[in-house]
A and B are shown apart, each in its own frame.
Chain A
Amino acid sequence: MSKLGQAKRIIFLKTADGQLFEVDEPVAMEFEIVKSFFDENEDAADDTVVPLPNVSAEPLAGIIEFCKAHVEFRANGAAGKDEVKKFNAEYIKEKSNEQLKELILAANYLNIKEMLDFLTETIANRLKNKSVEYVRAFFGIENDFTPQEEEAVRKEYEWAFEGVDED
């Protein structure tokens, strides 16, 4: 970790689509996969480029933005405060469902616990009052029930279908 007076260490990350990212060390260390890479390879050169073959540039940029803000919140002792909630709400507001799915896959691959918690919670909130059809479309899931089977499952929990939001 960088200390005052020392030059900030930069970590180089390369995405699946060939983009090179330069990330401040504390932010990159939020990614468990990057952290354990350097833990296991203490001799790794400072200019090592860590390949991220499962992440493309767009979600990575979004993830860096999120982690950078949260590292700063923690440094300022703002963790858990309204400021953080406000940032999170703003951050997610403009994200489409497709972007959310890309982000969660990337955050899962990079193994960023805080962000994963936040994204799973966000997706759950987007889905909880939606229809079954919306959920299928959201995840691209094919309905493999026969109409009779589906009817039977639905009938069992009829009351759970009350009060569904519009898609």
Chain B
Amino acid sequence: MAIFSTMRSIKTKSDITITASSSFRFRTSSSVETVANNDDLLTEILHRLPIKSLLKFKSVSKHWLSLISDPYFLLRLSPVPQPITGLFMRGLGSPEYYFINLGSSPSPAPFKSLTFGNNPSSDSGITIEQSCNGLLLCSCIKGSAGRPDYYVYNPTTHQYTMLPPPLVDSRNSGFNLAFDPSKSPHYEVICVQNCQNFEDESYRIEIFSSKTGTWRLSKATYNVPVYLSYTFYQSLTNGVFWKGSIYWINERLCFNIDEEKMQEMPLLPAVEGWGVRCFYYLGISRGHLHLIENYGPALFNVYEMENDCSGWFVKYRVDLRQVATTFPEMIRSQADPEGYNYYKISTICVVREENEDDSCLVVHIPGKVIRYNFKNRSFKKIYDFVPSEFEFQCDFGDGRYITGIEFARLYAFQYIESLACV
């Protein structure tokens, strides 16, 4: 039997011995190889750890700290699509946020209230404006005049940065965060400004890039209908970022950031006999853009945008009237049972899961949050609101009182774990 390592009997086509072949080598390490000093292996292992473990393991050693903090490591870390770990919901008249856990294992609330930055009055507090793939856009009103300060905050790492003022620092500006960690470690902020102050343009858009740290004026133009012009910026705020464009539900517009082009959002499929239509949710889950239409008491259509952004299709039909038999507090008994407002109900998040059978709708009803499974139509309570001492209360003086969370449509912001730098 020929023993290769003796190099006697093996010849390559070019008649040189294997060990001399430049493209092929059996390496022998001089020192004992360990997993700990093989960065390729370590990185592979680290990429499979949850974000929480990674933050914990930053304190293993200086080498691990630098591995886990490396921007290229972070870029590769972003699996798309990312699961939603939880939702932040702000109570009325309270600086505190409720944290509704959506993950498979319980995860502690990353914060109770936002207190970063140089804000002397932590009472007025910092408010979440928008959540985008792990980063939050937050605002903080300083006194009565002027534009609020805007921050980009990573709730996982608690890092934050204050945005510099736009080129034209107008109070009438709508801010929108655009961040896609699968494409770039950098984010952009799109600022839509009131057209009233500008003679030639109907409105103006500025784009901030975290890569350069500066604002620039976009070349985009769009003729705003006159009736909207005064408050146009208010409608074009906190848009939903999906596939390179920001979508605004109110104006049915979308802005393609790369092309700097404002476009009409594709219309929903027409339904005969439906004149006025009621949409009030636009959101992303696992890379899908969803829109919810309320077409009757506790009746909803969940639409999904086609992957090529060409139009909407009905993804789920949801009938939540069953839920009211378990939670009768949802019913406004004085209201018309045929009317839209017969139920106190607010659909706050469409959650797509890896296994489609587990996808669900998160619904806010008085005092509770429930999770409704699209496929098997089962539902369960996942959160009980406990009114805090900060809670807005309205006392009727006869023993009845309502608290802020009894029923009001509260905004819910997605918490997606991220190590992205801000």
Taking beta carbons and an 8 Å cutoff, which residues of A are in contact with B? Answer: 12, 14, 33, 36-37, 40-45, 47-54, 101, 104-105, 108, 116, 120-121, 123-125, 127-129, 132, 135-136, 139-145, 150, 153-154, 156-157, 159-162, 164
Are A141 and B58 touching (Cβ within 8 A)? Answer: no
User: Cβ of B48: which chain A residues have Cβ within 8 Å of it?
Assistant: 120-121, 124-125
Select the residue from A52, A108, A160 with max chain B CB neighbours within 10 A. Answer: A160
CA distance in complex: A143, B41 (Å): 20
Are A116 and B110 touching (Cβ within 8 A)? Answer: no
Which residue from chain A places its CB closest to the CB of B41 in the assembled complex? Answer: A108
Q: Is the CB of B219 closer than 8 A to any CB of chain A?
A: no
CA distance in complex: A145, B60 (Å): 8
Are A153 and B49 touching (Cβ within 8 A)? Answer: no
CA distance in complex: A144, B21 (Å): 41
| CB contact between B60 and one of A41, A47, A135, A160 (< 8 Å): that residue | A135
CA distance in complex: A157, B155 (Å): 11
User: Cβ of A41: which chain B residues have Cβ within 8 Å of it?
Assistant: 10, 12-13, 18
User: Cβ of A49: which chain B residues have Cβ within 8 Å of it?
Assistant: 1-5
Are A132 and B57 touching (Cβ within 8 A)? Answer: yes
Chain A: minimal CB distance from B315 (Å): 26
Q: Is the CB of B400 closer than 8 A to any CB of chain A?
A: no
A120 with B44, Cβ < 8 A, contacts A54-B33, A129-B53 known: yes
Interface residues of B in 32-47 (CB under 8 A from A): 33-36, 38, 40-41, 44-47
The 22 listed contacts between A and B (C-beta, < 8 Å) are A37-B18, A43-B11, A43-B13, A44-B10, A48-B4, A48-B9, A49-B3, A51-B5, A53-B26, A54-B26, A104-B35, A105-B41, A124-B48, A128-B49, A129-B53, A141-B61, A142-B61, A144-B61, A154-B59, A156-B157, A157-B157, A160-B52
Are A101 and B34 touching (Cβ within 8 A)? Answer: yes
User: Cβ of B36: which chain A residues have Cβ within 8 Å of it?
Assistant: 139-141
Q: Is the CB of B118 closer than 8 A to any CB of chain A?
A: no
Are A145 and B59 touching (Cβ within 8 A)? Answer: yes
User: Cβ of A136: which chain B residues have Cβ within 8 Å of it?
Assistant: 60-61
Q: Is the CB of B92 closer than 8 A to any CB of chain A?
A: no
Which residue from chain B places its CB closest to the CB of A48 in the assembled complex? Answer: B4
| CB contact between B110 and one of A48, A105, A159 (< 8 Å): that residue | A159
Are A45 and B10 touching (Cβ within 8 A)? Answer: yes
| CB contact between B55 and one of A43, A124, A145, A160 (< 8 Å): that residue | A160
Taking beta carbons and an 8 Å cutoff, which residues of B are in contact with A? Answer: 1-5, 9-13, 18, 21, 23-24, 26-29, 33-36, 38, 40-41, 44-50, 52-53, 55-65, 108, 110, 157-158
User: Cβ of A121: which chain B residues have Cβ within 8 Å of it?
Assistant: 48
CA distance in complex: A114, B44 (Å): 13
Chain B: minimal CB distance from A28 (Å): 14
| CB contact between A116 and one of B1, B44, B60, B108 (< 8 Å): that residue | B44
* Extra pairs beyond A50-B4, A136-B60, A139-B35 (6, CB < 8 Å): A37-B24, A40-B12, A44-B10, A132-B56, A140-B34, A144-B61
Chain B: minimal CB distance from A98 (Å): 11
Are A12 and B1 touching (Cβ within 8 A)? Answer: yes
CA distance in complex: A145, B4 (Å): 47
CA distance in complex: A43, B240 (Å): 60
CA distance in complex: A54, B111 (Å): 49
| CB contact between A45 and one of B9, B24, B53, B59 (< 8 Å): that residue | B9
CA distance in complex: A152, B218 (Å): 42
Chain B: minimal CB distance from A166 (Å): 15
CA distance in complex: A33, B24 (Å): 9
CA distance in complex: A72, B66 (Å): 42
Are A105 and B35 touching (Cβ within 8 A)? Answer: yes
Are A161 and B56 touching (Cβ within 8 A)? Answer: yes
Are B24 and A128 touching (Cβ within 8 A)? Answer: no
A127 with B2, Cβ < 8 A, contacts A43-B12, A136-B60, A142-B61 known: no
Are A108 and B26 touching (Cβ within 8 A)? Answer: no
Which residue from chain A places its CB closest to the CB of B57 in the assembled complex? Answer: A135
A160 with B53, Cβ < 8 A, contacts A48-B4, A54-B28 known: yes
CA distance in complex: A150, B5 (Å): 49
Chain A: minimal CB distance from B69 (Å): 10
Are B60 and A159 touching (Cβ within 8 A)? Answer: no
CA distance in complex: A70, B274 (Å): 57
